């Protein structure tokens, strides 16, 4: 039986919808473990430095662990079609971020530790918003937006409890976000 134009158009629309859903689910599946990891790091890092202000160097250890952990997650979940240059591109991404932050702080030195505490969550929030926009991942973009708003809100209105706020709300939001992404 011949296919009519309307049926063909409807099939093409169905294909487009399915492709979009699959594409989004694919990226969410890749992102979720990173959110669990970084949520745990935020939770531990901010909670410990709130309770023990002298333990700031703990962040150095946690950030290194986070980068190594993220690399291992990405390496394990990378597809068979991934390029062999994956490791180099991953390393180059973090070197670029490190250089950017170093240059930024040299040009605009932070006036307080609170500014640094708020800056990195904002940077990560921006990162999620951009990833969400460019991968059509609405949930990732919304999560980034929520993180940004929570950070700014805590910075201006909860300065005395900012670290605790970021531990519970920031770290918690990342972990919950990971579960949210996995639900697709």
Partner 1 sequence: MDTKTEQPDTVIHQPQRLKIMAALKALPAREQLEFVRLKTIVGATDGNLGAHIVTLEQSGYVEVEKDFIGKKPRTRVRLTRAGRRAFEDYIAFLREIVGQE
By beta-carbon proximity to partner 1, the closer residue of 161 and 179 is 179
- For residue 138, the minimal CB distance to partner 1 (Å) is 16
Please give the Cα distance from 75 to 87 (Å, whole number): 8
Nearer residue to partner 1 within complex by CB, 15 or 149? 15
Query: Do 56 and 48 contact (CB within 8 A), yes or no?
Result: no
The residue (of 11 and 64) whose beta carbon lies closer to partner 1 is 11
Altogether, the residues listed in the chain come to a count of 184
In 3D space, the residue among 71, 120, 73 whose CA is nearest the CA of residue 91 turns out to be 71
Torsion from C-alpha of 145, 149, 151, 152, nearest 10 degrees: 130
C-beta closer to partner 1: residue 11 or 108:
11
Q: CA–CA separation, 59 vs 44, rounded Å?
A: 9
Tokens, residue 168: 């519970």
**Least distance to partner 1, CB of residue 73, Å:** 15
Q: Which residues bind partner 1 (CB under 8 A)?
A: 2-5, 8-9, 11-12, 14-15, 18-23, 25-26, 29, 79-82, 184
Q: How far apart are CB 135 and partner 1 at their closest, in Å?
A: 12
**Minimum CB–partner distance for residue 131 and partner 1 (Å):** 16
């Amino acid at each position: 039986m011949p296919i009519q134009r309307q049926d063909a158009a409807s099939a093409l629309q169905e294909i487009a919808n399915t492709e979009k859903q699959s594409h989004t689910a694919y990226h969410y599946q890749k992102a979720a473990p990173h959110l669990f990891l970084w949520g745990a790091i935020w939770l531990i890092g901010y909670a410990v430095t709130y309770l023990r202000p002298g333990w700031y160097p703990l962040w150095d250890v946690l950030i290194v662990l986070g980068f190594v952990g993220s690399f291992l997650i990405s390496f394990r979940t990378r597809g068979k079609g991934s390029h062999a240059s994956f490791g180099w591109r991953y390393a180059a991404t973090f070197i670029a971020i490190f250089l950017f932050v170093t240059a930024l702080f040299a040009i605009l030195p932070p006036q307080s530790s609170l500014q640094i505490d708020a800056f990195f969550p904002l940077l990560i929030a921006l990162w999620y918003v951009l990833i969400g926009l460019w991968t059509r991942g609405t949930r990732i973009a919304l999560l980034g937006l929520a993180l940004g708003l929570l950070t700014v809100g805590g910075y201006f209105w909860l300065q005395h409890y900012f670290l605790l706020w970021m531990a519970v709300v920031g770290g918690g939001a990342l972990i919950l976000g990971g579960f949210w992404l996995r639900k697709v």
